[in-house]
Amino acid sequence: MKIIKKFEVPYLQILDETGKIVSKREMPKLSKEELKKLYYLMVLSRAFDEESILLQRQGRIYTYASLYGQEAAQVGSAYALEKDDIAFPSFREHGVYLTRGAKPEALFLYHKGDERGASSKDVNVFMPSIPVGSQIPHATGAGMAFAYQKKKAAAIGYFGDGSTSKGDFHEAMNFAGVFNAHTVFLCQNNQFAISLPVAEQTEAETIAQKAIAYGFKGIRVDGNDILAVYKATKDALTEAYTGKPTLIECLTYRMGDHTTSDDASKYRKPEEAKKHEKFDPLLRFKKYLIKAKILTEAEGKKIQEQVKKEVEEGVKSFEAMKPYPAEDIINYLFEKLPDELIPELDEIKKIAEESK
Amino acid sequence: MNMVDAINNALDNEMANDKSIVLLGEDIGEDGGVFRVTDGLAKKYGNNRVMDSPLAEAGIMGVSIGMAVMGLKPVPEIQFDGFSITILDQVYNHASRIRNRSRGLYHCPITLRCPIGGGIRALEHHSESPETFFAHIPGIKVVIPSGPYEAKGLLISSIRDPDPVIFYEPKRIYRAIKEDVPEKPYTIPLGKANIVREGKSLTLITYGSWLRESLEAVEELKTDIEVIDLRTISPLDTGTIISSVKKTGRAVIVHEAPKNLGIAAEIMARINEGAFYSLEAPIERVTGYDTIMPLASYEQLYLLNKEKIKKAITKVLSVKG
């Protein structure tokens, strides 16, 4: 027997957990302003997350999936996107929406059970996909469309470690390879699919290596290192524009429960999550920014205050919104509602009118 | 043209006029599809518009959704009815609700083509009639043509429709019926049934390949029967059905899919809602049995035929009003 092929899985870390640059060579080209913007977006994502959990506990929004601990993976990757790129997220990617310019009020609104919050114009983030992994083929298809249109744009599919067990993931990756799709696959390996640890999800040592089977590059990055995530995504996008997909595995950790309906202490010792606090993506980035004299403590405080105000305004503004007209539950089914459904439309209108 | 030629011609017409139309499916390129429906199109329009896809039905539907929301009009093909079940997740959880979930910001113009039904002594899973699964999904249109002329006009309408359409092609009549079909594009509206034959004594409602046997049965009985070809299974054209049954007072419904929760059951419910007091006899349905589609040796027993249809008509006509 002889070896006919050997493969490698690269790992990228730029900023270690102490806030030290460990790979200067890989440092992305980002201005001081951009670095500060990244920090602001991470703080905003966390503040939004904390507020959402609070609102859920008070019954002001419904089920919510926390992003706590995944700020670097979400903000870093989304910040790398260009205007025409589009993201296909799962239900935990609030940081992606915020980075792309969605307003907190839209995200609150969605979690209040209002379809109007699911998508925002000009943000170029598709609606969140709840059936796990089912959005990954859409990212491939969008990337195929860009290839066909010869457009300098790419699609990025967001998903978690649990998704990688699904056929959708494998079919999407395979199609992307075959059709040279302008697609980046971004897996946030937060090490849990509700209760199932990643070690029981797959026997593979890394998720990144799964790309090899489909003929393209897979890379694992420290998912709590925003500089590494940004760099890997930027490089992957550059490749994607020429029809070469990449799978990026952001190794991170879900610090919170799966959703507000979950209690992680049932299957994960609280001490275990506590241990991960020292890898907090915000902490290390702030340490770096302060040490590198990009950010002062005073500026950090100002950002906290600014973000708090933004989130509070978001709450005010979504709670002030009037419900949409009841008939809209059927009005958006088709471009033109078939005659067949007019009686149902009329009945909905009537019931809504009577209950006023 | 036969139905294969008519569908090929419809695709050709539309692709020539609209560069956003792309085809995707297993063996549809160089091979022209296992039924040769897409024959010659890859050569004419190139491999980037007529894409031979990897063997993954759910993937075909999933990537088509991604293409559709980014401005293309994909016309994917699933090779056989039995395999169209694997796309249900993508159709139900995504294609059907993209316009609704995004409040109209995105929409999903896909026409999914797939052969349907038995009658060609095929392998297991190659002779199924799963239209009800898709017809039950809000936001999805289901179209099943009854012949070459119909197929071309309905397919062009489906492709031009801005929302997702499941277009099932009765494979039994792919080459069995020849009709004059114009080379130029034309449309037949979706959601509107076709009164193929006017009559006063009974309404026969059917779609797809059984229109032919239904018409033969009606001719042989030499009675004054109205025959409706549904064309679109969902949304149903209830108006046409109701006004016909109000006129005739009697109805027979014919389809190949199993009886339990089949389209006929829905039509009976709608007649009950809209024409109950006009009925002069219980409605009969001629459908497939509620069992697994048998293999070729007993396929003919399972399938409908002219005699079964005649028997049902005679029974309904024999009831004194």
We report the CATH number of the domain holding residue B87 as: 3.40.50.970
At A330 the three-state DSSP class reads helix
List per-residue pLDDT tens for chain B, 321 residues long: 999 999 999 999 999 999 999 999 999 999 999 999 999 999 999 999 999 999 999 999 999 999 999 999 999 999 999 999 999 999 999 999 999 999 999 999 999 999 999 999 999 999 999 999 999 999 999 999 999 999 999 999 999 999 999 999 999 999 999 999 999 999 999 999 999 999 999 999 999 999 999 999 999 998 999 999 999 999 999 999 999 999 999 999 999 999 999 999 999 999 999 999 999 999 999 999 999 999 999 999 999 999 999 999 999 999 987
Q: Is B300 within a domain?
A: yes
B144 and B8 in a single domain? The answer is yes
Within 10 angstroms of residue B27's Cβ, the number of other Cβ atoms is 16
B142 and B230 in a single domain? The answer is no
Q: Chain-wide mean pLDDT for chain A? A: 97
Domain, as residue range, for B96 = 3-173
Interface contact A144-B69, CB threshold 8 A: no
CB-nearest partner of A335 from B61, B107, B237: B107
B157 and B217 in a single domain? The answer is no
Q: Is B180 within a domain?
A: no
The burial of B78, by beta-carbon neighbours within 10 Å (0-12 exposed, 13-18 middle, 19 or more buried), is given as buried
All residues of chain A having their beta carbon less than 8 Å from the beta carbon of residue B83 are: none
Mean pLDDT of A329-339: 96
Distance between CA atoms of B25 and A97, rounded to whole angstroms?
33
- The residues, ordered by sequence, that sit 6+ positions from A271 with a Cβ below 8 Å of its Cβ are none
- Quick: pLDDT tens for A267-304: 999 999 999 999 999 999 999 999 999 999 999 999 99
CATH architecture of the domain with residue range A11-324: 3-Layer(aba) Sandwich (3.40)
pLDDT in the model for residue B243: 98
B108 and B150 in a single domain? The answer is yes
CA neighbor of B96 nearest in space, from A14, A346, B87: B87
Determine the straight-line distance between the first and last CA of chain B, rounded to whole angstroms.
Answer: 44
- Quick: pLDDT tens for A186-208: 999 999 999 999 999 999 999 99
- ipTM of the prediction: 0.97
- Quick: pLDDT tens for A131-155: 999 999 999 999 999 999 999 999 9
Residues found in chain A: 356
All residues of chain A having their beta carbon less than 8 Å from the beta carbon of residue B101 are: 115, 118-119, 127
pLDDT in the model for residue B264: 98
pLDDT in the model for residue B258: 98
Distance between CA atoms of B214 and B194, rounded to whole angstroms?
14
Q: Is B99 within a domain?
A: yes
Please give the backbone phi and psi of residue A271, each rounded to the nearest 5 degrees, phi first.
-60, -35
B120 and B151 in a single domain? The answer is yes
CA-CA distances (angstroms) from residue B311 to A45, B49, B285, B300?
A: 69, 49, 11, 17
Mean pLDDT of A334-346: 96
The burial of A181, by beta-carbon neighbours within 10 Å (0-12 exposed, 13-18 middle, 19 or more buried), is given as buried
Determine the straight-line distance between the first and last CA of chain A, rounded to whole angstroms.
Answer: 78
Distance between CA atoms of B244 and B221, rounded to whole angstroms?
19
- The residues, ordered by sequence, that sit 6+ positions from A142 with a Cβ below 8 Å of its Cβ are A86, A88, A155, A182, A183, B66, B67, B69, B70
Tokens of B17: 């006029």
Q: Is B184 within a domain?
A: no
Four-residue CA torsion sign, A69, A70, A75, A80: positive
CA-CA distances (angstroms) from residue A21 to A33, A111, A134, B296?
A: 18, 38, 37, 70
Residue type, A163: S
B151 and B221 in a single domain? The answer is no
What residue of A is the nearest CA neighbor of B70?
A142
Check: CB of residue A94 under 8 Å from CB of residue A49.
yes
* A292: DSSP letter: T
pLDDT in the model for residue B321: 76
All residues of chain A having their beta carbon less than 8 Å from the beta carbon of residue B90 are: 134, 137
For β-strands B111-116 and B225-229, DSSP reports them as unpaired
CB-nearest partner of A142 from B69, B89, B104: B69
Spans of all domains in chain A:
11-324, 326-356
* B122: DSSP letter: -
pLDDT in the model for residue A121: 86
CB-nearest partner of B54 from A126, A146, A175: A175
Please give the backbone phi and psi of residue A125, each rounded to the nearest 5 degrees, phi first.
-125, 125
- The residues, ordered by sequence, that sit 6+ positions from A170 with a Cβ below 8 Å of its Cβ are A210, A214
